[in-house]
Copies of this chain bind each other. A is one copy, B any other.
Amino acid sequence: MYRTHTCGELRASDIGKSVTLSGWVQKVRDLGAMTFVDLRDRYGITQIVIAENATAELKAQAERLGREFVVQVTGTVLERSSKNPKIPTGDIEIAAEVLNILSTSEVPPFTIEDNTDGGDELRMKYRYLDLRRSAVRKNLELRARMAHVVRNYLDALDFLEVETPVLIKSTPEGARDFVVPSRMNQGQFYALPQSPQTFKQLLMVAGFDRYYQIVKCFRDEDLRADRQPEFTQIDCEMSYVDQEDVLEVFEGLIREMFKQVLNVDIPKLERMTWHTAMEKYGCDKPDLRFGMEFCEITDLVQGKDFAVFNDAEYIGAICAEGCAGYTRKQLDELTDFVKRSQIGAKGLVYIKYNNDGTIKSSIDKFYSAEDLKAVCERCGAKEGDLILVMCGKKKKTLPQLCELRLEMGNRLGLRDKSVFKALWIVDFPLLEWDDETERFYAMHHPFTAPKPEDIYMLESNPGAVRANAYDMVINGVEVGGGSIRIHDKELQARMFRCLGFTQEQAEYQFGFLMNAFKYGAPPHGGLAFGFDRLASMFAQLDSIRDVIAFPKNNSGRDVMIDSPSLIADEQLKELAIKVDIK
């Protein structure tokens, strides 16, 4: 037996006991007469003391110890003379009697501490050492607790956990698939699932009624900080439901998670239409931790001498509370911010509603004080506030103003990671026009049901048809989304036609689903949460990497195991493929 207790377990009530602990050496303090060793495991840290009167053998062992050695210590629990109130084991220490080195360690390439000296790359390469840092491990513990709460909640509601296949079929629609050459069917390929979408719908056709799975999905996309080639979804589907039923169940899930895992009470979720979100926040995932809603002022400021405004389709403003004192430099920074190529605005107009009631703006020469006051009033500005105005094509200006709003939120400290504001975005458009290919695309996916009352417009005015689709947004991040699905084979065929699929294309790609719908498909709908994102939000992190045990870097490489890698010619031959780099 390697231990009687963990390193996080012993308390004052254990004083006098003979115990055995095993763990890693966090620190050795050699005070000459005595040596103190901090012994660490997943559960905590316990102080070991090699006393002045210890045997020569024991002292010699202690002298050999270095950081990250693995040792087993047997000894007696003593009361500490100087207690450490910062750790749960701080009242006691172990007077070592036997010290057994289980593994030695080279000096680790970075310190195993919350504030490590290791850079990103080094820590990725030695991920197994990075994971020893409690800050990193705690994120993964949090993730495991979240999964536990999810499963218990859904199990209690009769959701059935079903595993869907990983080796499936490639479909050209959507993002790029990872593919797997088949040895037994040469020249043919499996694809890894981007989501279990069609399988969960088939499970509904199969009468499974309520399904869930916490499941790996795969997308071969160019990577960003919050994207990984493999990621995890909490995937769910329900039969005999309308949108309201689905929102009810998953709003309950997210509130349960916040309560059980973080002890945070999330109030009933606001429901905002996609249209309102766009008008008020310029995007479909508004951060509601702060206000600063858009205020359209087009009618107020056009028809004067300012050509830029007169030519604009849309003129919108936000009001930054208490920022009237912004300096020239601060305002220039904001202008530079919106002019960055990622945002691409031409400029920024400001109106300062000063504390003394006067108004100062970058467009003073075109507008009277009354004109500007009217703008201030429309925006609900008080004395001391700053109004920021952007203009141009509406479709372009809204997202630009959205970025500016978020930037102001950051500057004003209004985006506290420990505050959570969740809402539903509903009534998404069913279809999205793409200027480049000159066709409509499904905004969610081709199985999403239109709102019954809008179906009549499917052919005549497709862009106006709203979908029974919904996203859950928390703090400006889309954490989940889903829809009621089409369960009628005629409507599904009509939808494919709207998307420009020929009968043959639809048949080839989704034939098995359309076939299934011939045999009595129930009304159904569902949703999927991005589990990595949700976990990183719960952990108050910016990137999903630190809630993934072994993440890949931006080139899709696992630098720890050095993958992907070359494979043997023999393997390629068996698979009947050849590498063909141009």
Q: Which residues of A contact B (CB under 8 A)?
A: 1-3, 6, 22, 24-25, 40-43, 68-70, 102-106, 108, 126-129, 131-132, 137, 140-141, 144, 147-148, 151, 155, 160-170, 172, 176-192, 198-199, 202-203, 205-209, 216, 218, 220, 222, 229-230, 232, 240-242, 245, 487-488, 511-512, 516-523, 548-550, 552, 555-558, 560-568, 571, 574-582
Contacts and interface: CB of A to CB of B under 8 A. Distances in A.
A127 B164 CA distance: 13
Given A163-B216, A186-B579, A191-B567, 15 more contacts: A1-B242, A1-B245, A25-B520, A42-B208, A103-B520, A104-B520, A166-B230, A167-B218, A167-B563, A168-B558, A170-B567, A172-B568, A183-B220, A186-B581, A578-B578
B575 A578 contact: no
| Chain A contact residues: helix, strand, loop or mixed | loop
Contacts of A487: 102-103
A376 B22 CA distance: 56
A102 B522 contact: yes
A3 B191 CA distance: 38
Given A70-B522, A187-B566, A520-B69, A561 B181 contact: no
20 contacts: A41-B207, A43-B209, A70-B520, A70-B522, A103-B517, A105-B518, A106-B519, A128-B203, A132-B207, A144-B161, A147-B161, A148-B161, A165-B230, A167-B563, A172-B568, A179-B575, A188-B565, A189-B564, A512-B562, A576-B582
A551 to B, nearest CB: 8
A518 B162 CA distance: 41
Contact of A209 (B1, B42, B220): B42
A20 to B, nearest CB: 10
Question: Which of A147, A184, A202 has the largest count of B CB atoms less than 10 A from its CB?
Answer: A184
B567 A189 contact: yes
A41 B131 CA distance: 47
A106 B43 CA distance: 60
Contacts of A561: 168-169, 198, 512
